[in-house]
């Protein structure tokens, strides 16, 4: 009972510590490739400190959702980090973090953001919220099917068990089922966390915004939580994908050496994956909103093929 | 005589009392008197249902002569088995909550003598359907339920035209359902030679059973509102008084599900594989079509009605998957899928009651059920908003509501299918999973829209700005229903344990913290622990927020950033129609809308615009292509038939003569 709790604490501390660094690395990579010098790796951390120390505002007629939504997003992202096997695959026996629970916790954050977008009653907030929910709805089948495909050889839908079984049977890493599912999952991560080509996190043009439009009215502490919460989602989902694709160095238990190796391994994998993602983004333009469903339908097809293949191969 | 029988007798007695009170008590106290009696009717059903669910099969009440002068009928029997007990319990609780809400809500025709008497009759009929143990009793209760609901639906017919249309559609579809059931049961009774369930269950096999299955499933699917027989639902639910809509949507359509389970588990068990596939296809199609239609509706109650089709579709899918798995020798996973169906039934009853009662509360306060005219209600109606929010979370299957647990169980059954040697399962299961996942995603969008547009943002009309919170009876009903939605989600273990017996699912256990452990497929879910984990994680975040809020309190400003609100008018807000616009584009083939833009120009200056009006209506594709075409064909046939009777008396005498000759020829052969 104590050991899984220790793992959860390690996951939370690790996620909160690594997230600003990850965002910093991604922004710096992008800036350097575009020929800018950028704000440096520590800039997201400084932004966060500044925002959290500033006062938030409230307009007349606002509802409690204004206060609750940023905190709900933050909490849902933290629970996500606690349940996903970032450093160790030792899971809490009564909440092992199976696929559907993890996805539902993720959706809780999605809903908090969408409600916040509607709360202010502005046109941009509603627009962002509407687009965000359409994308979330269309991503859902791909998420469930791609992890379903990976769960068939493992015989379990618990994420930790899947990572562990892939680690023990390394031959399963390079087969077509696994590759198709991982590619589909990458598209999911890109769509869920609002990266290019689905959404441009650095945009200043309101009409093309999705994520930014929803948080346009927030400021100060609220904005700080919203930013950190959204970044943590990226850490959690990217961490899940790298640990599924390259399950080396993930600890099996709560031993000190194992955890240290796990932390070091996941840090390297996460930062490398983040830098790669940022480097790819330099060469991509944002898709038109109504082309996004085609991308998601493509990823759904990959996931579906992967499930069918998993039944025929294994 | 035990608790089951006592409860059934009490329902009949209290039903009569309720009708007497509805007729005798003057208008000033009628709501309270008749409403309380109907609450008691529901309570009696809940009592007897619980007893039956937990295995107390009574001696049963029976009337020895079913119909006078007709031979071959077995006595009328009222004795529910555990499955019937579950549906009786569910109907009782929903009826009691709806009637409690009705005490505060009913006004105008719904509060008349006819209104309350019809509600009492409807409640008794509804609750006795699952208690019936033979065909005749079943059909009698079914008709009482149908007639009672039709009268209730007609409440506002004098003032609103759509009510009359809705009642016509409802009456026609209900009787279609009744005829199909009559034909289906007729086939069964003729082959088995008796009318009681036990006689029938030992009866037909082969193609005859297949024919009965198709007829009965069509009949029950009509009542359950499955596509393509759903057309009455989006008309009837919005037009009925809200407490009646809640009872119809949360309890009455479930009798269709009870019928499906009765046929597939009790009367014709171990059917061929295609039966299960039919149910999966019917259910998955309804789920996806229902939620797509729901997502584009702007009328709150119409949205909820289409969402009922979606949920009933999911339930039917779960039944189909369960039968398919049981038929493939995977009894464990099959039992889990059937348990998922029952959990979906219970959870839908809980959250749909909250949602319809919440919609009623909004309608009561603003006179509007069009989301495009609402907004900002969360700060004016906090009780209704909180309850509706919980119900919406249940409908969107978010943790830790009952809807989340139910869909979790269904998805676990799908994932734990062993399909490596079975090509059919290897194709059916992933497709089902994809459709269920898309349904969940679109459900999320639908209910974010329903709650966000209706309760958040700023009021879009003066009526919404002047809304007041509803009265005590309505609030109590809302709070109880919302508490049930959360409670069933937090403590699913004991509930699932009780339900497992009704569909003979094995390996369903309760974990130490009242969570759910499915030993058959080796998974656990502990919503209580998940909640505790979430709270533990929330503590540091809240602590930091509180410390920071002391240093920098929230500042009240006229406009947050003035971004787009500068010249604020409610018309500039995003509304329900605009919210679903991207979805309409993505699903062009399935969602058709008809739009019209009217521009009024001043006479002197035709290049200026004086008034601009945009209206959009969604088109139900199934209705447009199926029903309209069918009515056109029927009308053409009628036109043809009209040529036969042109009013000439000679021709009619000729017809009579020809008929006489025909009869003589036939008799003399």
C-alpha B45/C-alpha B348 separation (Å) is 19
Plot region of B375 (φ>0 → left; ψ -120 to 50 → alpha; else → beta): left
Does an H or E element contain B555, and which? strand B555-556
For residues B173-181, average pLDDT: 94
Question: What are the CA-CA distances from residue B586 to residues A290, A291, B438 (Å)?
Answer: 7, 9, 13
How far B284 CA lies from chain A's nearest CA (Å)? 14
Flag whether residue B487 sits within 8 Å of chain A, measured between CB atoms. Answer: no
- The residues, any chain, with a CB within 8 Å of residue B121's CB and separated by 6 or more, are B15, B19, B144, B147, B148, B151
Q: B453: which chain A residues are within 8 Å (Cβ-Cβ)?
A: 118
Flag whether residue A32 sits within 8 Å of chain B, measured between CB atoms. Answer: no
Q: What is the DSSP letter of A286?
A: P
Domain holding A200, by residue range, is 2-313
Q: Closest partner residue to A57 among B416, B557, B579, by Cβ?
A: B557
The B residues from 174 to 193 touching A (CB cutoff 8 Å) are none
The alpha carbon of residue B437 and the mean position of all alpha carbons in its chain are separated, in whole angstroms, by 20
C-alpha B28/C-alpha B20 separation (Å) is 16
- ipTM for this prediction: 0.94
Structure tokens, B354:
């909250």
Cβ distance A122 to B585 less than 8 Å, yes or no, reads: no
pLDDT for position B67: 66
Cβ distance B444 to A136 less than 8 Å, yes or no, reads: yes
Flag whether residue A219 sits within 8 Å of chain B, measured between CB atoms. Answer: yes
C-alpha B102/C-alpha B16 separation (Å) is 19
- The residues, any chain, with a CB within 8 Å of residue A263's CB and separated by 6 or more, are A10, A14, A87
Rounded to the nearest 5 degrees, what angle is found at the Cα of A129, between the Cα atoms of A127 and A130?
A: 65
Identify the bridge partners of residue B16 per DSSP, sorted by sequence position.
none
| B294 in Cβ contact with B584 (< 8 Å) | no
C-alpha B581/C-alpha B342 separation (Å) is 35
How far B248 CA lies from chain A's nearest CA (Å)? 29
Structure tokens, B159:
């003032």
pLDDT for position A284: 87
What is B81-127 written as a DSSP string?
Answer: -HHHHHHHHHHHHHHHHHHHHHHHH--GGGGSHHHHHHHHHHHHHHH
Q: A52: which chain B residues are within 8 Å (Cβ-Cβ)?
A: 544, 548
- The residues, any chain, with a CB within 8 Å of residue B170's CB and separated by 6 or more, are B149, B150, B153, B232, B235, B236
Q: A5: which chain B residues are within 8 Å (Cβ-Cβ)?
A: none
Identify the bridge partners of residue B509 per DSSP, sorted by sequence position.
B517
Cβ distance B564 to A300 less than 8 Å, yes or no, reads: no
| B60 in Cβ contact with B209 (< 8 Å) | no
The B residues from 567 to 586 touching A (CB cutoff 8 Å) are 572-575, 578-583, 585-586
pLDDT for position B662: 94
Flag whether residue A295 sits within 8 Å of chain B, measured between CB atoms. Answer: no
| A266 in Cβ contact with A250 (< 8 Å) | yes
The B residues from 369 to 398 touching A (CB cutoff 8 Å) are 375-376, 378-379, 385, 396-398
- The residues, any chain, with a CB within 8 Å of residue B340's CB and separated by 6 or more, are B318, B322, B406, B407, B409, B410, B412, B413
Q: Closest partner residue to B444 among A111, A290, A312, by Cβ?
A: A111
Q: Closest partner residue to B585 among A59, A138, A290, by Cβ?
A: A290
Q: A108: which chain B residues are within 8 Å (Cβ-Cβ)?
A: 398-399
Summarised one tens digit per residue, pLDDT across range B422-431 is 888 888 999 9
Cβ distance B579 to A123 less than 8 Å, yes or no, reads: no
B114-140 b/e with 16+ CB inside 10 Å = b?
ebbbbbbbbbbbbbbbbbbbbbbbbbb
C-alpha B34/C-alpha B23 separation (Å) is 9
Flag whether residue A298 sits within 8 Å of chain B, measured between CB atoms. Answer: no
Which of A136, A140, A297 to probe the B interface (max B CBs under 10 A)? A140
pLDDT greater than 80 at residue B55: no
C-alpha B367/C-alpha B300 separation (Å) is 12
Flag whether residue A225 sits within 8 Å of chain B, measured between CB atoms. Answer: yes
Flag whether residue A62 sits within 8 Å of chain B, measured between CB atoms. Answer: yes
Total domain count, chain A: 1
Find the farthest-apart pair of alpha carbons in chain A and give their distance in angstroms, rounded: 60
| B378 in Cβ contact with B455 (< 8 Å) | yes
How far A55 CA lies from chain B's nearest CA (Å)? 5
Flag whether residue B161 sits within 8 Å of chain A, measured between CB atoms. Answer: no
pLDDT class for B648, splitting at 50, 70, 90? Answer: confident
pLDDT greater than 70 at residue B559: no
DSSP reduced 3-state for B63: strand
pLDDT for position B71: 65
Summarised one tens digit per residue, pLDDT across range B112-142 is 999 999 999 999 999 999 999 889 999 999 9
C-alpha A217/C-alpha B324 separation (Å) is 51
Which of B564, B571, B583 to probe the A interface (max A CBs under 10 A)? B564
Identify the bridge partners of residue B598 per DSSP, sorted by sequence position.
B613
For residues B256-263, average pLDDT: 95
A-B C-beta contacts closer than 8 Å = 251
C-alpha A62/C-alpha A69 separation (Å) is 12
pLDDT for position B562: 60
Spans of all domains in chain B: 624-669
Q: What is the mean pLDDT of chain B?
A: 89
What value does the CA radius of gyration of chain A take, rounded to a whole number of Å?
19
Does an H or E element contain A289, and which? none
pLDDT for position B564: 46
Owner of token pair 């249309």: B165
Cβ distance B441 to A139 less than 8 Å, yes or no, reads: yes
The B residues from 74 to 103 touching A (CB cutoff 8 Å) are none
Summarised one tens digit per residue, pLDDT across range B264-299 is 999 988 789 999 999 999 999 999 999 999 999 999
pLDDT for position B566: 55
DSSP reduced 3-state for B186: helix
pLDDT greater than 60 at residue B563: no
Low-confidence ranges of chain A (pLDDT < 70): 313-314
Any alpha helices (H) in A54-194, and if so which ranges?
65-83, 99-119, 123-154, 159-168, 176-192
Provide, for chain A, the percentages of residues in helix, strand and coil under a 3-state DSSP scheme, each rounded to the nearest 5. 75, 0, 25
C-alpha A194/C-alpha A192 separation (Å) is 6
Mean pLDDT lowest for which of A90-99, B480-489, B578-587, B650-659? A90-99
Which of B582, B583, B584 to probe the A interface (max A CBs under 10 A)? B582
Phi, psi angles (nearest 5°) of residue B74: -85, 165
Q: A104: which chain B residues are within 8 Å (Cβ-Cβ)?
A: 397-399, 404, 408
| A85 in Cβ contact with A238 (< 8 Å) | no
Summarised one tens digit per residue, pLDDT across range B323-354 is 999 988 888 899 999 999 999 999 999 999 99
Phi, psi angles (nearest 5°) of residue B444: -60, -50
Q: Closest partner residue to B574 among A130, A225, A293, by Cβ?
A: A130
Q: B444: which chain A residues are within 8 Å (Cβ-Cβ)?
A: 107, 110-111, 133, 136-137, 140
Say which residue, A270 or B203, is predicted with more confidence: A270
pLDDT class for B65, splitting at 50, 70, 90? Answer: low
pLDDT greater than 90 at residue B523: no
């Amino acid at each position: 009972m104590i050991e899984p709790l220790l793992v959860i604490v390690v996951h939370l501390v690790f996620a909160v510590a690594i997230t600003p660094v990850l965002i910093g690395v991604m922004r710096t990579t992008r800036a350097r490739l575009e020929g800018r010098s950028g704000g440096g790796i520590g800039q997201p951390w400084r932004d966060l400190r500044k925002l959290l120390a500033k006062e938030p505002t409230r307009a007349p007629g606002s509802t409690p959702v204004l206060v609750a939504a940023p905190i709900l997003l933050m909490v849902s992202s933290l629970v996500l980090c606690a349940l996903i096997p970032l450093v160790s695959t030792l899971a809490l026996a009564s909440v092992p973090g199976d696929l559907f629970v993890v996805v539902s916790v993720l959706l809780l954050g999605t809903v908090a953001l969408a409600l916040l977008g509607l709360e202010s009653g502005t046109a941009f907030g509603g627009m962002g919220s509407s687009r965000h929910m359409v994308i979330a709805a269309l991503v859902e089948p791909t998420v469930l099917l791609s992890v379903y495909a990976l769960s068939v050889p493992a015989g379990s839908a618990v994420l930790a068990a899947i990572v562990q079984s892939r680690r023990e049977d390394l031959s399963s890493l390079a087969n077509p089922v696994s590759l198709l599912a991982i590619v589909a999952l990458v598209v999911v991560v890109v769509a869920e966390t609002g990266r290019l080509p689905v959404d441009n996190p650095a945009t200043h043009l309101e009409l093309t915004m999705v994520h930014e439009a929803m948080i346009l009215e927030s400021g100060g502490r609220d904005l700080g939580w919203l930013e950190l919460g959204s970044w943590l989602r990226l850490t959690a989902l990217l961490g899940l994908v790298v640990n599924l694709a390259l399950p080396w160095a993930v600890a099996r238990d709560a031993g000190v050496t194992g955890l240290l190796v796990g932390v070091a391994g996941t840090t390297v994998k996460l930062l490398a994956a983040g830098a790669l993602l940022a480097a790819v983004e330099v060469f991509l333009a944002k898709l038109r909103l109504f082309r996004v469903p085609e991308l998601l339908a493509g990823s759904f097809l990959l996931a579906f093929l992967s499930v069918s293949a998993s039944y025929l191969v294994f | 005589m035990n608790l089951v029988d006592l409860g059934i007798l009490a329902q009949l007695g209290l039903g009569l009392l309720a009708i007497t009170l509805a007729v005798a008590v003057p208008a000033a106290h009628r709501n309270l008197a008749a409403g309380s009696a109907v609450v008691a009717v529901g309570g009696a059903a809940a009592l007897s249902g619980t007893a039956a669910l937990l295995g107390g099969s009574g001696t049963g009440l029976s009337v020895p002569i079913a119909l006078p002068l007709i031979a071959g009928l077995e006595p009328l029997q009222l004795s529910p088995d555990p499955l019937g007990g579950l549906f009786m319990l569910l109907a009782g609780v929903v009826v009691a909550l709806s009637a409690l809400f009705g005490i505060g809500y009913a006004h105008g025709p719904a509060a008349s003598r006819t209104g309350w008497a019809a509600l009492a009759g409807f409640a008794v009929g509804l609750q006795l359907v699952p208690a019936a143990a033979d065909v005749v009793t079943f059909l009698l209760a079914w008709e009482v339920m149908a007639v009672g609901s039709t009268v209730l639906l007609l409440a506002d017919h004098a003032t609103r035209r759509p009510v009359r249309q809705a009642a016509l559609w409802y009456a026609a579809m209900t009787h279609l359902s009744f005829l199909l059931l009559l034909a289906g049961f007729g086939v069964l009774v003729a082959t088995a030679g008796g009318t009681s369930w036990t006689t029938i269950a030992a009866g037909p096999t082969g193609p005859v059973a297949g024919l009965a299955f198709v007829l009965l499933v069509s009949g029950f699917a009509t009542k359950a509102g499955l596509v393509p027989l759903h057309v009455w639902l989006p008309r009837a639910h919005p037009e009925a008084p809200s407490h009646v809509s809640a009872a119809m949507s949360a309890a009455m359509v479930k009798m269709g599900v009870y019928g499906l389970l009765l046929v597939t588990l009790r009367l014709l068990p171990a059917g061929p594989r295609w039966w299960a596939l039919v149910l999966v296809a019917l259910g998955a199609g309804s789920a996806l079509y229902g939620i797509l239609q729901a997502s584009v509706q702007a009328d709150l109650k119409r949205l909820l009605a289409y969402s009922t089709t979606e949920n009933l579709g999911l339930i039917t899918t779960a039944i189909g998957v369960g039968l398919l798995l049981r038929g493939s020798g995977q009894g464990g996973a099959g039992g889990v899928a059937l348990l998922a169906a029952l959990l979906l039934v219970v959870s839908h009853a809980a959250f749909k009651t909250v949602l319809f009662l919440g919609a009623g509360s909004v309608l009561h306060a603003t006179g509007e059920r069009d989301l495009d005219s609402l907004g900002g209600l969360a700060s004016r109606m906090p009780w209704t908003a909180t309850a509706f929010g919980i119900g919406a979370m249940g409908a969107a299957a978010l943790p830790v509501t009952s809807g989340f647990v139910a869909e979790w169980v269904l998805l676990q059954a799908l994932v734990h299918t062993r399909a490596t040697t079975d090509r059919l399962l290897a194709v059916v299961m992933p497709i089902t999973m994809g459709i269920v996942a898309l349904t969940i995603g679109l459900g999320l969008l639908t209910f974010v829209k329903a709650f966000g547009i209706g309760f958040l943002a700023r009021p879009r009309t003066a009526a919404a700005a002047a809304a007041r919170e509803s009265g005590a009876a309505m609030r109590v009903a809302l709070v109880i229903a919302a508490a049930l939605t959360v409670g069933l989600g937090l403590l699913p273990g004991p509930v699932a344990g009780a339900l497992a017996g009704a569909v003979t699912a094995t390996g369903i256990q309760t974990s130490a913290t009242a969570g759910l452990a499915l030993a058959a497929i080796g998974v656990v879910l502990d919503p209580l622990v998940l909640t505790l984990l979430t709270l533990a994680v929330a503590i540091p975040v809240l602590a930091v927020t509180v410390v920071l809020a002391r240093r920098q309190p929230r500042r009240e400003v006229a406009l947050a950033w003035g971004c787009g609100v500068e010249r604020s008018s409610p018309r500039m807000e995003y509304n329900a129609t605009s919210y679903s616009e991207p979805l309409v584009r993505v699903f062009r083939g399935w969602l058709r809308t008809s739009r019209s833009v009217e521009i009024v120009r001043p006479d002197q200056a035709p290049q200026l615009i004086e008034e601009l009006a945009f209206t959009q209506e969604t088109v139900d594709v199934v209705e447009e292509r199926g029903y309209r075409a069918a009515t056109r064909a029927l009308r053409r046939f009628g036109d043809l038939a009209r040529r036969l009777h042109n009013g000439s008396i000679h021709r009619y005498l000729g017809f009579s003569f020809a008929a006489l000759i025909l009869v003589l020829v036939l008799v003399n052969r």
